[in-house]
Structure formats: C-alpha cells, structure tokens
Structure 1
Amino acid sequence: MSYRSTVARQSESLADTLTAAQAELKGLDLTPMASGVVAVTGIGASYAAAVVVAAELQRRGRRAFAVRSGEMMEGYDIADTVLALSHRGRSVETVEALQKLPRAKSIAITNNPESPLAKAATYHLTLNNGTDATPSSTGYTATLLAAGLVVDAIQGSGGADWTGLSALTKDIQSRAAAKMPRLAELFRDRRAIDCVGAGASIGTADGASLLIREAARLPASGYETRHYLHGPMEAMDASTGVVLFGDARELALAENLNEIGCPSLLVTSDTGISDHGTLSVVHVPACDDLVLRGIVDIFTAQLLAAELSDAAGLTDVKFRYKQTDTKIVD
C-alpha cells in the first residue's frame, strides 16, 4: 500500500490493534514488571516511540528512561524491566539488547509473535495494524497504542479514552488535512526542517524529523525545546522550516520564528493561537496521558511528510540505502 493510504487507514488499524491487544493482555500476568527501573528501547522510529512511552511511565511515578537499542548491546545491567518496541520484531539491535539482559523481565511489542524479538522476551503483545508502508505510519501509532495499554496494565489506568481513539483519529486527520495546502506552499523548497518538543514530545519531534527525512529526503532534526533555545535555532531563517509540538514555551518560540519569517507549524492544544504570517497552527485536544497525546500529535507530521514527498517528486519512492545488517532474516 502507498504511504498516504496507510496514513489514511489509521482509524481502522488503531481500532483493530486496540481490540486485539486488550484481549491478549487479559491472558498476561505482568505483575513481575510492576516494580524496579524500566528501560524502554527501540531503534529508528521505535526509539522515538520509546521516548514517548518512557515519559508517560515517569508521569505515573515509575523510574523509567528511553534508550536506543544499540546502546544496550554491550549487556550492561541497567534495568529491571524492559519494554522492547519493534514493528516486525526483527531489528538486530533490539533483539540483542534483550539477549544481553537475561535477568531483566521484558515485554516485546511486535506484529509477529514468532519474530526473533518476541522469542527473546519474557512476554509478547501482538500488533494488529495490518499493512504499513515506508515511512511507517500504522506501525508507529499502533506500537504507541499497544505500549500505552501495557503501561495501563502495569501501572493502572492513566485516564486515556482508548475506545474513543478511532473517532479522534479521523477528527485530527481532518483538521490537519485542511491545513496542508497552506503548509505545502509555506514549506516548499526548505533547505532544512527542525522538529521541536519537550518531555514526551521530544519523541514526537524525533519521529516527525525521521518522517521528513525518509519521505522527502530533506535534512531534518529533532530537538528538545529548551535546548533548542540555547543555540540550535540560530541556523533557522526564511529558507528553513520548524515543526513544534507543545503547549508551553513552544508558543513563544513559534512567535519568535514568525517574526523572522521562518515558516513554522505548531501542533498544540492551546486555542489562543492561530494561523498568522508564516505560522500555521493545528489544534489538538489536551491529553493527560502522554502516549495518547503522542499518537494525536504525529498525525499532522505524517501528512506534512506526504506533502513534502509529493513536492519533491518522491511519492512512495523506496529507500536508497539498503542495509544488510539491521534486520534478522529467516
């Protein structure tokens, strides 16, 4: 399937994943994972998701952190529990990370219960997102949803209305789509795009930058908001673009960028700010649960990546660089 078609069917893929994951979780006793230090790990887009999940665990009072799977391959005893994220469960680094931590309890979230990662983990939860494309859309959001359900299973409910997510997805995608003609014009021919957010939104910013790199082959980077203010934003001007996620310092930052004519996109729950100048705003509902907010926020970035891909003449073009040592093959 094409990238746009998989982005469009996320309402269905999330509903399917919710039903399947909730049923499977009823048969899993995750009590051994309810204490100790938690590492949430993944590689690529899965690491971006891991940052979001770790932030939600921290919000719930758990000692938790995100770590790239490649940083765990030495096997240091850094956590009591590991949440391992990999859409197909074949990432070499993530599998080895679990194999090198035999004492840690672990749960793998993949779309294949027979995958190498599923077999390496103590527990496994299966995604039911259907087909995905490059860049990943349904795989990324379904992974976040399943991880959010695991957090609920371990920590108790965090207040997310998971049953309403399918309808919410359609609503946010519609809001974002309405802004795409404006964004396509403002973000045309950017020489670089930065993506910025704080807390859990650092993961969303990282995921958004990866989408832009993969879909449009544009230099794009993810930054933490306060860090961004200490120098990195100095490179941005009217020839670049910035995508911001958040409801706090991100608003003033968006205004700073607008003042110098740097096209920017702000995804926020603050309804007191709207489109003006070179600033475009997509409003999303406020969410206490950071995993739910991470899902809601990424929809706009997915559509923007599709617009930039089309503008570059790269619609559904495959990756140029073929790696032979990042996936386990049968």
Structure 2
Amino acid sequence: MSLKTPFVDAMRAQPDNLALARTTVGRSLDTAVLAPWEPGETVGVVAMGASSHSGHALVAVLAGAGVRAVNLVASDLSAGAPGFQPADHYVIVSESGRSPEPIAAGRGLTVGRRIGISNFPAAPLAEVVDVALDLGGFDDSPVYTSGYTATLLAYALLLDRLGVVPAGPEVAAVPDTVAAALAEYDDVARRIAADVAGATSIDVVGRGTSYASATEAALMFREGLRVPAAGFETFQYLHGPMEPLDDHAVLIVFGDGRELTVPDSALTSGAHVVLVTTAPEAAIPSAGHPRLTIVPLAPGLGGLVRPIVEIVIMQLVMAHASETRDFTLEEFLFTQTDTKLDEQPTEVLEPATPQA
C-alpha cells in the first residue's frame, strides 16, 4: 500500500476503490460477531483527524434513528479515569491503522464492544478491536480521498448489518454515484476554485451529516492549499465566527434549511459564497447574486451518501485550486514523528485500564 499517491490520481480512483471497499467491508461483516446495539445504549466514535470528522456524519445518522451516539477525540480518552467507559459500544477508526491515539484508547475500552475500521486491518489497530472492517488496502493520497469516503461507506454498511439504519439501493450504488459526481461537478468546481485559490481565509459551514463535510473540507484546504480554513456547525457559525468575513474570504455552505439564508448577510461583506444544496433555486433568497455560486445536489440525497458526494465536490475544488500553487498537494511543510506508530519510537499515550 502507499499513502503517497498524487491527490488527483487518488481522487479519480475513488469509484474503483469504493467498489473494492464495498466488497471487503461486506466480507468482513459476513464473518463478524457483532454485539447488538440495544435501545438506550450509547455508541462512541473514536478517531483523530479526517477519521474524526467522518464521525460527525455517523453520529448525525444515528441521532436521526434515535440512537444515542457521541464523536470522541481519541486523545481525550487518555485523560479518563481508570476503567472510564464513555459509551457502551465503540467504532474505532484509523485509515492507516497506525494512529497511536485511537490504538491507545482502544486498549482501555470494553472488550467485545470494539469495532475497528481501517484500510489495513492487519495494522496495529487490529490488536485493540474485536471486529475489524477492511476497507480494501487501496493506495491513497497524503490528503485522504478514498480513505475518507470509504469510511463513510463502511458506516452505512455497518448500520445496515446491525439493523439500525437500512442501507437501501443508494448505498450499493455509491461507486457509480461518485463516478457521476466526479464528471458532473468538475466544471462548477473549477469556477469555485478560482475564488478559493485567491482567498486569504475559507469558512465551511454545515450541520447534521454535512457538518462532517464542513470540517473535513476545511482540513483539506489547510493541508492541501495552506490557507487558513475552519469548519463550523451552521448555527454555531451565526453566533460570532462569521464576523471576520471580508472581500478576501470564501464561505462554503452545505444544507437545505437555515443554510439557504446564510448567504444573505455574508454577501454584504464582499465574500464569495458557495451554497451546496438540494433546495430549488426559487427557495434561495440570494439566488442570482454575482458572488453566489449554487451547486445543486440531487433531490432526496441523504443519509451517509450525501456527505460522500459533498466531499467529492470539495476534492474537485481543491484539485483545481492546487493548479495555482508552486507546491504539490503531496508536500507537507511540517513532518510529525508521532502521528503513526511505526514513525515514532518514543512515548505513546497511556491507555485507560480495560474493562472486560
């Protein structure tokens, strides 16, 4: 496997990689012994970085199904008291399978209640989970593409197998849906990229499953374009964070509710605004404004498929914006020695005491 595939190549390979993940995750689930998620129990997502952002989507879908869930930052669990169990069941996610924080956390979580999701199930993460879901071992880019979208797909397949949220035909069609999105949204992504490439800051906003898209898109822009970017939940954004908007900023909004009127005030700042929505243009008060770009999603697009399509659109934007840079998306300025286990021989986080 490689995590050094050029971003554009990895992005374009997603339909094939997602088809592979659909097969390998399904095979993993066929042999898995899964503890049922009973009514009233809590599910905790345990991850870092991009995987942690994906957890927002899983928590939102579970909330919609009436299942209590929480997205836990893996490193925070090192501060827990011995035996502390913040949930009844855990989904521990590490695309590489080598992130030390989820691995350390997993050692202290309830045995028999730990489901791991990784592109490489034989990696160290496998030692601290009870069920390992295999994304397929495909090559990915340093700024994750398939690793992120395949994780969202794995969530959908897991929820279906547990009988929590039926997958439906749209989940099986995810590889084809992504192939269509890569073609359909390329032109509008190129137009958006012209503004993104020149921005001094980028705010990304959404709620529910789209909050995952907001936080992950912001991380991608920071990593890949080296532009200050931040992701916000829609209503949190209205409570002050939007104040720095000016004519050098770009605001990207995902959603169909209050999100439709967020551009109204934002456009008065001179900022360029992008609205990604399933709503008809007639429902958008600022439609037609020269600095508003509306990106229409298919009506009825929802569940965990929607954030997959949303992030693919943002990947296209970043790929085109990167063409203006004198560095590649594969070059990171700052190399950390402790974000992957086999890269750091020094101290790792101390786990909590396991609870059987």
Determine if the TM-score, normalized by the shorter chain, exceeds 0.5.
yes
Q: Given residue 55 of structure 1, which amino acid in structure 2 is its aligned partner?
A: A
SS of the residue 2:139 aligns to: coil
Greater shift, 298-307 or 190-199, is seen at: 298-307
Aligned mates of 1:77, 1:104 — CA distance in 2: 13
SS of the residue 1:125 aligns to: strand
C-alpha RMSD over aligned residues: 1.9
* 1:8 shift after superposition: 1.1
Q: Is residue 313 of structure 1 aligned with residue 326 of structure 2? A: yes
Specify which of 220, 232, 240 is matched with residue 231 of structure 1.
240
Q: Given residue 310 of structure 1, which amino acid in structure 2 is its aligned partner?
A: E
Aligned length: 330
SS of the residue 2:185 aligns to: helix
Q: Identify the residue that residue 102 of structure 1 maps to in structure 2.
A: 110
Q: In 2, are the aligned partners of 1:275 and 1:281 still within 8 Å (CA)?
A: no
Q: Is residue 252 of structure 1 aligned with residue 275 of structure 2? A: no
Specify which of 105, 115, 120 is matched with residue 123 of structure 2.
115
Specify which of 215, 219, 235 is matched with residue 210 of structure 1.
219
TM-score after normalising by structure 2:
0.87
Greater shift, 181-190 or 37-46, is seen at: 181-190
* 1:275 shift after superposition: 6.0
Q: For structure 1, which runs of at least 5 residues remain unmatched after alignment?
A: none
Q: In 2, are the aligned partners of 1:244 and 1:267 still within 8 Å (CA)?
A: yes
* 1:319 shift after superposition: 1.2
Q: In 1, are the aligned partners of 2:245 and 2:269 still within 8 Å (CA)?
A: no
Q: Identify the residue that residue 89 of structure 2 maps to in structure 1.
A: 81
SS of the residue 2:45 aligns to: strand
Aligned mates of 1:67, 1:101 — CA distance in 2: 12
Q: Given residue 49 of structure 1, which amino acid in structure 2 is its aligned partner?
A: S
Alignment of 1:115-134 (within 5 A): 115-128=123-136, 130-134=138-142
Q: Given residue 16 of structure 2, which amino acid in structure 1 is its aligned partner?
A: E
TM-score after normalising by structure 1:
0.94
Aligned mates of 2:183, 2:263 — CA distance in 1: 23
Q: Identify the residue that residue 196 of structure 2 maps to in structure 1.
A: 187
Q: In 2, are the aligned partners of 1:246 and 1:269 still within 8 Å (CA)?
A: yes
Q: Identify the residue that residue 40 of structure 1 maps to in structure 2.
A: 45
Higher relative contact order (CA 8 A, sep 6+): 2
Q: In 2, are the aligned partners of 1:89 and 1:112 still within 8 Å (CA)?
A: yes
Q: Identify the residue that residue 298 of structure 2 maps to in structure 1.
A: 285
Aligned mates of 2:331, 2:173 — CA distance in 1: 34
CA displacement, residues 226-276 of structure 1 (integer Å, 9 cap, x when unaligned): 111111111101111111111111111123323432112211111325664
* 1:81 shift after superposition: 0.4
Q: Percent identity?
A: 32
SS of the residue 2:253 aligns to: strand
* 1:287 shift after superposition: 4.7
Q: Given residue 48 of structure 1, which amino acid in structure 2 is its aligned partner?
A: H
Q: Given residue 88 of structure 1, which amino acid in structure 2 is its aligned partner?
A: S
Q: Is residue 175 of structure 1 aligned with residue 184 of structure 2? A: yes
* 1:102 shift after superposition: 3.5
SS of the residue 2:198 aligns to: coil
Q: Identify the residue that residue 337 of structure 2 maps to in structure 1.
A: 324
Aligned mates of 1:295, 1:8 — CA distance in 2: 14
SS of the residue 2:152 aligns to: helix
CA displacement, residues 145-173 of structure 1 (integer Å, 9 cap, x when unaligned): 11211111121415462222122112222
The structure that has the greater radius of gyration is 2
Greater shift, 287-296 or 110-119, is seen at: 287-296
Aligned mates of 1:141, 1:180 — CA distance in 2: 18
* 1:104 shift after superposition: 6.2
Aligned mates of 1:160, 1:209 — CA distance in 2: 30
* 1:329 shift after superposition: 1.1
CA displacement, residues 54-102 of structure 1 (integer Å, 9 cap, x when unaligned): 1111111111111111112234211110001110111110011111213
Q: Given residue 52 of structure 2, which amino acid in structure 1 is its aligned partner?
A: Y
Aligned mates of 2:231, 2:329 — CA distance in 1: 23
* 1:32 shift after superposition: 3.6
Q: Identify the residue that residue 63 of structure 2 maps to in structure 1.
A: 58
CA displacement, residues 20-58 of structure 1 (integer Å, 9 cap, x when unaligned): 211221221324444521001210000000111111111
Seen in structure 2, the aligned counterparts of structure 1 residues 327 and 275 have a Cα distance that, compared at 3 Å, is farther
Seen in structure 2, the aligned counterparts of structure 1 residues 277 and 300 have a Cα distance that, compared at 3 Å, is same
Seen in structure 2, the aligned counterparts of structure 1 residues 56 and 283 have a Cα distance that, compared at 3 Å, is same
Seen in structure 2, the aligned counterparts of structure 1 residues 208 and 275 have a Cα distance that, compared at 3 Å, is farther
SS of the residue 1:264 aligns to: strand
* 1:117 shift after superposition: 1.0
SS of the residue 1:161 aligns to: helix
Q: Identify the residue that residue 6 of structure 1 maps to in structure 2.
A: 10
Seen in structure 2, the aligned counterparts of structure 1 residues 243 and 109 have a Cα distance that, compared at 3 Å, is same
Q: In 1, are the aligned partners of 2:197 and 2:322 still within 8 Å (CA)?
A: no
Q: Identify the residue that residue 209 of structure 2 maps to in structure 1.
A: 200
* 1:113 shift after superposition: 1.9
